[in-house]
Amino acid sequence: MTDDPRSRLSDDPRQPLDVRIDSPAREGLTGTTPASLYTRLKEDDQITIAPNWRPMDEQPSWRTDFPIDWPQDHYVERRDFMKFMVLTSLAFTVGQFWIAAQNWWRRRRGRAEITRIASLDNLPVGGIVTFAFPGPHDDCVLVRPQENVLVAYSQKCTHLSCAVRPRVEAGVIHCPCHEGYFDLAMGRPISGPPRRPLPIVHLEVRGKQIFATGIEERTT
Amino acid sequence: MNVHRPFTRQQRTTIIHGMVAFVLMLVVLQLWLLTATMNAYLGGDESVIWPAAGASLACLALNAGLLRYLYHIDRARQ
């Protein structure tokens, strides 16, 4: 039986090749590849490419059993991630306006009323008095480190709002939760996690009575 | 039925990579704005609150615009 090259190609419908070198189908080609080989069988968007870029016949069986259009999967993944990021962006913007609303509410409350908090007679040098100012849940602490010196601060640590405790003999205010320390004279953070100073309570002494006249939050 | 899209999927994937990078930068900027504004607010500094809210809103508008463009290029045309 003679081996006719045309008979070997006749089973493949994509390659109806006339093997003669001067056939019209091969006109313009320099090699032996049939022109029909270059025609697209599928659109780019329909070609499945596995994540390891190997052909499908080299993939594990589970991947061929559950074929996934990986480029489409990657595309949808990134598209959904972008939607999630835009939602996150919306959440951050809502947070900004929530701060603005809180600020508006804080300003609307106005200045705190002047409140009597202690008497000099009941506060010896080195003594400490706790009081609530300006609201009933805003705990503050008044300290008399020297005869003629009075300081008062909010008792909430500026790190995570734990109650701070003055240590008059050491000249510091200590936060026991995370070992934060503030300077007793100015309320500024000197070590530990707090970064902002304690809000300072403005005081006024009238006769022997000590009054809180306002509270000031500070960034530095 | 012949479906026509302005870009091929490969082109759209490239576009979306660029968009995601840009959106991520904007979201990180918004996160920084939020933490800085919260710190200023808790410290009693009110001057930055509204400018920061405006900047964050502008970032959101950019992100939403990009998402809208993504829907636009993703939409099939007959």
Find the mean pLDDT for residues A174-202. Answer: 94
Does the pLDDT value for residue A142 go beyond 70? yes
The predicted model scores a pTM of 0.68
Interface predicted TM-score of the whole assembly (ipTM), two decimals: 0.91
What residues of chain B lie within 8 A of the CB of A199, using their CB? 44
Q: What local confidence, expressed as pLDDT, does residue B73 receive? A: 86
Q: What local confidence, expressed as pLDDT, does residue A30 receive? A: 57
Asked if A103 and B66 come within 8 Å (Cβ–Cβ), the reply is no
Residue A22 pLDDT level (bands cut at 50, 70, 90): low
Q: Does A46 touch chain B (CB under 8 A)?
A: no
CB pairs under 8 A between A and B: 108
Closest Cα of chain A to B72: distance in Å?
13
Does the pLDDT value for residue A2 go beyond 60? no
Helices A70-109 and B9-42: crossing angle in degrees, nearest 10, is: 20
More confident residue, A65 or A158: A158
Closest Cα of chain B to A208: distance in Å?
31
Mutate to test the interface with A, among B5, B22, B39, B49 (most CBs of A within 10 A): B49
Does the pLDDT value for residue A40 go beyond 90? no
Q: What local confidence, expressed as pLDDT, does residue B66 receive? A: 95
Each of the 78 residues of chain B gets a pLDDT tens digit; together they read: 555 667 887 888 899 999 999 999 999 999 999 999 999 998 888 899 999 999 999 999 999 999 999 988 887 654
What residues of chain A lie within 8 A of the CB of B46, using their CB? 103, 107
Question: Domains in chain A, please, with CATH?
Answer: 5-65 (no CATH), 115-216 (2.102.10.10)
SS3 A117: strand
Q: How far apart are CA A209 and CA B2, in angstroms?
A: 88
Q: How far apart are CA A32 and CA A41, in angstroms?
A: 20
What residues of chain B lie within 8 A of the CB of A219, using their CB? 39-40, 43-45
Asked if B26 and A45 come within 8 Å (Cβ–Cβ), the reply is no
Q: Looking at the partner chain, which of A71, A93, A217 has a beta carbon nearest the beta carbon of B42? A: A217
Name the residue among B8, B14, B16 with its Cα closest to residue B76.
B8
Closest Cα of chain A to B64: distance in Å?
7
Cross-sheet strand order for the sheet of A149-154: A115-119, A209-216, A200-206, A149-154, A139-146, A128-132
More confident residue, A174 or B6: A174
Beta bridge partners of B4: B77
What residues of chain B lie within 8 A of the CB of A220, using their CB? 43
Q: How far apart are CA B52 and CA A33, in angstroms?
A: 65
What residues of chain A lie within 8 A of the CB of B24, using their CB? 85
Find the mean pLDDT for residues A89-113. Answer: 91
Q: What local confidence, expressed as pLDDT, does residue B78 receive? A: 46
Asked if B60 and A79 come within 8 Å (Cβ–Cβ), the reply is no
In chain A, whose CA is at the least distance from the CA of B38?
Answer: A99
What residues of chain A lie within 8 A of the CB of B40, using their CB? 219
Domain spans of chain B, in order of start: 9-74
Mutate to test the interface with B, among A48, A93, A103, A202 (most CBs of B within 10 A): A93
Angle at A133 between CA A129 and CA A136, to 5 degrees: 105
Tens-digit pLDDT profile for residues A72-84: 788 888 999 999 9
